[in-house]
Structure 1
Amino acid sequence: MSDYFSLSDCDVIGFDLDHTLCRYHLKETSRLIYESFARYLVDHKGYDPDLLLLTPATWDFCFKGLVVDLEDGNLVKLAADGTVLRATHGTRDLTEAEILQHYGPRRQWKHFHSLNTSFTRSAHYYFYDNYFDLPGALLCGRVVDMLNKRGEEVNAEFWKDMVAAIDHNYNTSAFKGEP
């Protein structure tokens, strides 16, 4: 089975937070997750409201196994040996020449050994390994696009805002109704 999928055609069965077996409609679930993260960044962190605007084609960016390199804003898809199969800067596809410039003639991502041996989170990268993470990959790409558009430096600092959005939306206090 390929890691690429169409959100409109995909449902998955899995366990919810309370261990209930559920059927997830990925198109709707992904949109809800993306919008809640983006809304937090816009309302609480001052990000551009354009982050909230999505087209159906926007979702083509999402596929399992993406790694965001927090040091430069590139998102990479790796082969089993760490070879960069494809890469984007934000949501913009890197050309073959740009991939070679960033990753060398062997197309090796510098943090692969760490990812491959531990699968732990790192200050250098984040591995999007499940369907519930994929909207975050899209948002990361779009935030990098926004930073580039503003002429701001892309570095790991933007990740702090992404983590704040995740914490806000998955904190149990976020499930309380507002008066």
Structure 2
Amino acid sequence: MTRYVFRSRRLYYLAAGPGLAEGAVAFYRRNREAFGPFDPIQPEDFFTADGQRERLAWDLAQAEAGRSFRFLLVQPGHPGKVVGLAGLNEIVRGAFQSCFLSYKIDHTLWGRGYGTEAIEAVTAWAFRTLKLHRVEANIMPRNLASRRAAAKAGFIEEGLAKDYLKINGRWEDHLHMVRRNEEEPDESR
């Protein structure tokens, strides 16, 4: 088993890499229909082991460069079965110190708090390990479950971005939700 980077109460967070392609493709195939209304349209090779190997190799290169970090989530009792993903994407340093959060939970686990748990854990890791000031999530207004999970994890709504992302073939509005690092020392004092 690939070693995990960190863990939360019910989940292990594995660093994305090509060796996890089989688990990732099984996860995406199993959830293809459930994620369809909330995801961009993917090419067919995205749902193949080779396509996932290529994507996970890119994710690994991004992590090595410090630009983004993607984690595949597994349960301790089932270490070979990917049940979720969480990412810290488009990390910007300098005066911004922020990134965009992405997350997905296997549809068989919806409504059981796994989304909130994953959001809390990966956000805490971003603050503790990467020393980021803000983690930002953009969520379609009609995705009530995702909005609730982010809110329970301490994210607040900052506004609405019109026609923000092309999802399932059409431009969709997204609510901009943010959590700030409250533990960060204020060096201006």
Is TM > 0.5 for Structure 1 vs Structure 2?
no
Q: TM-score, normalised by structure 1?
A: 0.30
The structure with more strand, counted as a fraction of residues: 2
Q: TM-score, normalised by structure 2?
A: 0.29
Higher relative contact order (Cα pairs below 8 Å, separated by 6+ residues): 1
